[in-house]
Structures are given as structure tokens and as C-alpha cells.
Amino acid sequence: GENVEQHPSTLSVQEGDSAVIKCTYSDSASNYFPWYKQELGKRPQLIIDIRSNVGEKKDQRIAVTLNKTAKHFSLHITETQPEDSAVYFCAASNSGGSNYKLTFGKGTLLTVNP
């Protein structure tokens, strides 16, 4: 089955700095890569996703890059703000066949210091 590795497990940055979280996956058939943000005590919320036919996607201060050859994808947050502090999960899935399973990374605790 799919295995998703996520690094780092914790990341502390100063407000205004950039933050980068990296994930690797094992199944070359995976073709969908969402990122979820989970604030303490709240539900995971999709912040951005990318499909395997695209190399990069941006949404304001957030961007995701995908390297299919190397089987890794990254989340980039620019001009970080204290409200970006949360746990971020990457995930990968393969929609082939009749089953759909999203495999999550172990998460990155991002702390943005004012």
C-alpha cells in the first residue's frame, strides 16, 4: 500500500518568514495530493491540493509543488502569520479502481512566533 513520509515533524518560524513542509510517497500510481490544516481542537480543513498532471499550484500565500519523478511534494507558506500556527498533514491517493483511500503523513506542527 501507499506510504507517505512527512518532514519536519515540528517547525518554528518567525512571523513573516517562509515555511516549507516536505512529503514523499511510495506508490507511483498516486495521482492526488491534498494538504490539510488542523488547528488545535478543530477539524482538518483542506487548504490546497494538486493533481499529478500539474507541477505547481498557488493560492495567495500558499503553494504546492509536485515532482512525480522523485515522488515528492511540498507545501510552501510565505509571509507566515501567527494564525498559520497549526498541524499540517499531507496526503496522497490513487483513484484507480473502485476504492478511494487517502493516506496521510504524520503531520507537521507549525508554530509562527510573533
Partner 1 sequence: DTEVTQTPKHLVMGMTNKKSLKCEQHMGHRAMYWYKQKAKKPPELMFVYSYEKLSINESVPSRFSPECPNSSLLNLHLHALQPEDSALYLCASSPKESNNSPLHFGNGTRLTVT
Q: Which parts of this chain interact with partner 1 (CB under 8 A)?
A: 31-32, 34, 42-46, 49, 51, 87, 89, 93, 95-102, 104-107
Of 15 and 46, nearer to partner 1 (C-beta) is 46
12 in helix, strand or coil?
Answer: strand
Per the CB < 8 A criterion, the answer to whether 107 and 89 are in contact is yes
Q: Put residue 79 in one of left, alpha, beta given phi > 0 → left and psi -120 to 50 → alpha.
A: left
Residue 16 CB, nearest approach to partner 1 (Å): 27
Rounded to an integer, what distance in angstroms lies between the CA atom of residue 74 and that of residue 62?
A: 11
Of 58 and 101, nearer to partner 1 (C-beta) is 101
Of 107 and 112, nearer to partner 1 (C-beta) is 107
